Amino acid sequence: MIDIYLKETLTMTIAGTFILLGASSLAGLFVAILQTATQIQEQSFPFLIKFSVFALTLIIFGKWLLAYALSFMQEMLSSLVQLGAM
């Protein structure tokens, strides 16, 4: 029973971080290509773009991530009695 919850926790963590870090990494790649092509070496430009993409991704997928985490916690807390009986 515990191994199921560990697997689900790992899956939830990977899904949540992959969405956010994947979007930020793609934005960073786009900014790097843009800076290379235009030879603009401003340091705050990549940070601002990556932060904006991260915030936008969190706004778009935040509701789903929160619902996923809450349903997992409700399931885990509801089966706490079964885990204590083991």
Alpha-carbon radius of gyration of the chain: 19
Instruction: Using the predicted structure, report yes or no on whether residue 86 has a pLDDT greater than 70.
Output: no
Which region, left, alpha or beta, applies to residue 42 given φ > 0 means left and ψ of -120 to 50 means alpha? Answer: beta
* Cα dihedral 3, 6, 10, 16 sign: positive
The single-letter code of the amino acid at 23 is A
Per DSSP, the three-state class of 25 is: helix
The pTM score is: 0.76
1 in Cβ contact with 84 (< 8 Å) = no
Return the domain boundaries, the chain.
2-84
Kindly report the average pLDDT of the chain as a whole number: 88
